[in-house]
Structure 1
Amino acid sequence: MEMTVQLTIDCSDPQRMVAFWAEALGYVPEPPPGGHATWRAYWAAMGVPEAELPAGAGDVPESIIDPAGRGPRVWFQQVPEPK
């Protein structure tokens, strides 16, 4: 039986976390799904209201993936309070 795991980390600056942890873990920023220029464009196509997306959210990748496909996806979720 296959199991998929994702680690979600609350933070105030996802882009900074992506840059640091991608390098530290040997991961790469996760590209948006095919046919979409950004994650924000993907979320809009999926019907996420603009009012629910913080300024800049999804303009650049906010998650990282293991290029070998062995480790979990890591998503850095932007939250308003400092972490």
Structure 2
Amino acid sequence: MATRISLTLDCTDAKRLGEFWKTALGYVDEPPPAPFRTREEWHASFNLPEDDSVDDGAWLCDPDGFEPRLAILKVPEPKRAKNRLHIDVRVPGHGSAEERWARMRAEADRLVKAGGIVLAEFDGHHVVMADPEGNEFCVGAASA
């Protein structure tokens, strides 16, 4: 059995970035681990400093349970450099190269409306974007 992974993004506004990534990936808020009924109850169990708020994080998951979970956590320092690891948003569907490129462009346009920024386009292959806090990701086709 393969090891499961989760991804963590550092940020300054976890709620805003969480909403963007739920839109981008079709993810939902991850329920708190058992036996906790709420994320607030889970967070309080860690005995953290008073200024550490549950609102400083967002925990997202694939509603079908296949893709890695995504934790988004507030950190005090700003983003300073290009990501060493990035997310690829893979647009599904078959068809000609032109049809796949049209789907990628439509997805990039949808994510711009959600707060993303197009950084570069590699015509017919992928679109390099950034989320609202500047974390780079790519939009590409899921199938050739």
TM range (shorter): 0.7 to 0.9
What is the TM-score of this pair, normalised by structure 2? 0.47
RMSD of Structure 2 on Structure 1 (CA):
2.3
1:6 equivalent in structure 2: 6
- Count of aligned residue pairs for this structure pair: 79
1:51 equivalent in structure 2: 49
Residue 14 of structure 1 and its aligned partner are, at CA, apart by: 0.7
Percentage identity across aligned positions? Answer: 41
**Matching of residue 42 in structure 1 with residue 38 in structure 2:** no
The gaps in structure 2 that reach 5 residues or longer are 80-144
What is the TM-score of this pair, normalised by structure 1? 0.76
Amino acid at match of 2:4: T
Residue 76 of structure 1 and its aligned partner are, at CA, apart by: 0.5
Higher strand share goes to which structure?
Answer: 2
Instruction: Flag as ranges the 4+ runs of structure 1 deviating above 4 A.
Output: none
Amino acid at match of 1:58: V
Larger Rg: 2
Residue 7 of structure 1 and its aligned partner are, at CA, apart by: 0.3
The structure showing larger relative contact order (alpha-carbon pairs under 8 Å, at least 6 residues apart) is 1
Residue 36 of structure 1 and its aligned partner are, at CA, apart by: 3.5
1:66 equivalent in structure 2: 62
The gaps in structure 1 that reach 5 residues or longer are none
